[in-house]
Amino acid sequence: MVVINFFFGIIVFKEPVANIWGTLCSFLLLIAGLVGMSRYSSPQQNQRHIYEQIVPSEETSGRLDLNFQTLQATEDEGIIEQSQQNIEMNIVLFNGHISLTKRQCGIMGAALNGFMTGGSLIPLHYVAEEGFGGAKYFPSFGVGAMIANTLLWLLWYIVCFCRDAVHGKSIKQTFDEMPKWYFRALWLPGLLAGLMLSLAMFSTILAITYLGQGVGNSVVQSKILVSGLWGIFWYKEVIGAKKVAKWFASAGVCMIAIICLSLERLEAKYTNN
């Protein structure tokens, strides 16, 4: 996303900055920080945790008289079990022609999200020149998102129906196999998530309106700091003082880059005025 923002904001739209080389270095610093946070926030399988799953601890089953051969065999079984779990978690696409692990699917989804999200507010650059930036743009964005989501669901249903029609399934059977709404269970979490996302997108539109596509939409990526803090302190996805320290160091690099980008943009605006 940061690369898309820099390309369109600084190169294509030629948004003014105080120093192009200083801005470029700030973008590179931001990318390095984001990569560091992503790397050090990824959960890892603890090998000792595998031992605890296979072999009961002394506190739960008393003393165990295990020799080296037994421990080695247990380790091998744990590795085999872990490998089998990884195989089971593979996601198969296009009738078995493509098989991806959960990590590969996650990386592919993140790359697609960065590309699409980075370009989703590019039209704001053109309408802002006609006085429709900021809050005036938000209703159009909301209606467009609703229409796009409806079309995507319709497209997904058509794809599933074409696939199921080969096996003789009816329209109703295809519809029953679609993801369920689960309205009673998820109406409150879904409503809260939607409200928070809408407020976030409104803030993003304001940031791009006043700071530009290149700097504004890149500064918004500070949201990864909040996600990382939830992962560390609430979900316990990051374990180990050394790894947590590296994450905070990467977060500090991001904050420095964000401050530098903001200063580059603000200094250019004051100079032009």
Q: How do the residues of the chain divide into helix, strand and coil, expressed in percent and rounded to 5?
A: 75, 0, 20
Decide if pLDDT at 222 tops 50. yes
57: left (phi > 0), else alpha (psi -120 to 50), else beta? beta
Q: Is 119:12 a contact under the CB 8 Å cutoff?
A: no
What residues are paired with 99 via a beta bridge? 92
Identify the pLDDT of residue 103: 77
H or E stretch at 255: helix 241-272
> What is the pLDDT, as a whole number, of residue 264?
86
Most trustworthy range by pLDDT among 62-66, 121-125, 251-255, 263-267: 251-255
Interval 151-195: pLDDT, tens: 999 998 998 888 888 888 888 888 888 888 888 999 999 999 999
Those residues with Cβ within 8 angstroms of residue 232's Cβ, 6 or more apart along the chain or in another chain: 41, 238, 244, 247
> Is the pLDDT confidence value at 225 over 80?
yes
Tokens standing for residue 63? 């003393």
Question: Residue 198 burial (CB < 10 Å; 0-12/13-18/19+)?
Answer: middle
Measured between its terminal Cα atoms, the distance across the chain in Å is: 30
Taking the C-alpha atoms of residue 41 and residue 51, their distance in angstroms, rounded to an integer, is: 23
Query: Is the pLDDT reported for residue 87 higher than 60?
Result: no
Query: How many whole angstroms from its chain centre is CA 82?
Result: 26
Q: What pLDDT score was predicted for residue 256?
A: 92
pLDDT at 34 over 60: yes
Q: What is the Cα–Cα distance from 218 to 261, expressed in whole angstroms?
A: 9
Residue 89: pLDDT band with limits 50, 70, 90 = low
The CA distance from 196 to 137, in Å, is 18
Residue 259 has pLDDT above 70, yes or no: yes
The larger pLDDT score, comparing residue 33 to residue 2, is at 33
